Chain A
């Protein structure tokens, strides 16, 4: 037995050897989620250093492939990869061969031929990251696909709740608003229920995904009926077009019934958290003074996002494909 093999045997309990991609949380076990969160704790320590840099991914290339607009997710992935000394290439569909009609698979293969080890992809079509994962020889991280999934946002939400409250098991989390069109909500439902939390999806009937059936999750139309009882309230962004499409009566009436207003905040438990995946519409789904109140952890969600993405990049990229 070589020295390397011996050290391998003596290493602490390893990540699952089979995981190459992070596409959604529905195929993550509780143990795997816990591993991502625990590793993020270690990454958080790097973020507290004066020089936020460790060599964990030296020589690896991470390509950010964003076919859809994004500020926080793209920058967060870029910062995370750079903190671990990876080489980062940013690619956006505009100005690329995509405009000449190159297919998603061909683009991904090109990126791998250029040396990509990890492809981070955001796409307006649900399933696009899965297609890339099946066809390109690189690890794929889903940074949001259509209305389907946004696993890294859900993981950072779980991480923020666990850091602030100390546990996930038994938490009551209300996700409020346009759940139907929300990939963040869907990934959070899978992640939170897997970790033993209860998820209450709250909003107008026109915006709730009635087909979604996950154990540990329920629907509720009346926000006032649950607001006093929950550990976390997470309003989702209301897109202004929803009112034009007839899904909600008007933005003002939406705020009356489902907005996280200062009056509703006053009825929440003192230790309950207010979260928001961003970007916000202040004055619609959340009042500006609520978003900046001490109960709001919206800013730490953003900084925790870097630690979570460092954790995922490390766990996926360090393993040879």
Chain B
């Protein structure tokens, strides 16, 4: 996936979010650390451009909600979470770079609900690579990328990696 492909995919997702929710009223974008955050910000820029409304963007760290704490040999670092508005009654669009087993999304749902009772939660991902281990499906997908479980999908972003690209690595 090239930088151009990524730009188009995000533009399409932004239009889909607007269409599906009939506007952007009551909407909050929440990016999952690390690369979900710049993606959520880019979607917010487009929503502002298309609808003329600034949608709040939150940042979510799911480390404390993972289901493998204590199983792993090393403890992952806890990042910061910042949700600028009360999520109760809001329509949350959760944003992440890659959807794989679904375990991170499960953790994110638990984390979000600790902040209140959203009206609904939708899921936007740049890449869906399959191999789900939980009954979770995305509402907005940039690109479906069939992969083998042995492969790695690397999403590179300007903000975190200097350039936009999606690569499959063996």
Contacts and interface: CB of A to CB of B under 8 A. Distances in A.
Interface of A: 1, 3-4, 6-8, 10-15, 17, 35, 38-39, 41-43, 45-46, 49, 51, 53-60, 84, 311, 314-315, 317-320
A11 B80 contact: no
Contacts of A41: 80
Nearest to A54: B64
State the main secondary structure of chain B at its contact with A: loop
A46 B64 CA distance: 10
A159 to B, nearest CB: 15
A35 B75 CA distance: 12
Given A54-B114, A314-B64, 6 more contacts: A3-B131, A42-B78, A45-B80, A54-B65, A56-B78, A318-B70
**Chain B interface: which size bin?**
20 to 34
B88 to A, nearest CB: 10
B2 interface: no
A318 to B, nearest CB: 4
A319 B111 CA distance: 21
Contacts of A39: 77-78
A8 B72 contact: yes
A45 B33 CA distance: 15
A317 B150 CA distance: 31
A42 B76 contact: no
Given A1-B150, A49-B114, A53-B114, A42 B65 contact: no
Contacts of B71: 4, 320
B128 to A, nearest CB: 16
Given A13-B77, A45-B81, A51 B114 contact: yes
Interface string B43-81: 000000000000000000101110011111111111111
Contact of A4 (B64, B68, B77): B68
Nearest to A58: B69
Contacts, number: 86
Given A14-B74, A51-B114, A54-B114, A318 B69 contact: yes
Interface string B27-45: 0000000100000000000
Interface string B128-162: 00010100000000000000011010000000000
B110 interface: yes
A60 B75 CA distance: 14
A11 B69 CA distance: 12
Please name the 4 residue pairs, one residue from A and one from B, whose CB atoms are nearest each other, closest first: A14-B74, A56-B64, A42-B78, A318-B75
A247 to B, nearest CB: 44
Given A39-B78, A43-B78, A45-B82, A319 B73 contact: yes
Contacts of A58: 69
B114 A15 contact: no
A3 B101 contact: yes
Interface in B97-138: 100-101, 110-111, 114-115, 131, 133
**Chain A CB within 10 A, most for which of B63, B73, B77:** B77
Contacts of B61: 42
7 contacts: A3-B131, A15-B75, A51-B114, A58-B69, A311-B78, A318-B72, A320-B73
A42 B81 contact: yes
Given A42-B81, A55-B65, A319 B70 contact: yes
A8 B78 CA distance: 14
B74 A15 contact: yes
Contacts of A15: 74-75, 77
A60 B131 CA distance: 31
Contacts of B101: 3
A57 B64 CA distance: 8
Contacts of B115: 49
B86 to A, nearest CB: 9
A102 B71 CA distance: 34
B64 A84 contact: yes
Contacts of A43: 78
Interface string B75-96: 1111111100000000000000
B168 to A, nearest CB: 13
B29 to A, nearest CB: 19
A11 to B, nearest CB: 5
Contacts of B73: 8, 17, 319-320
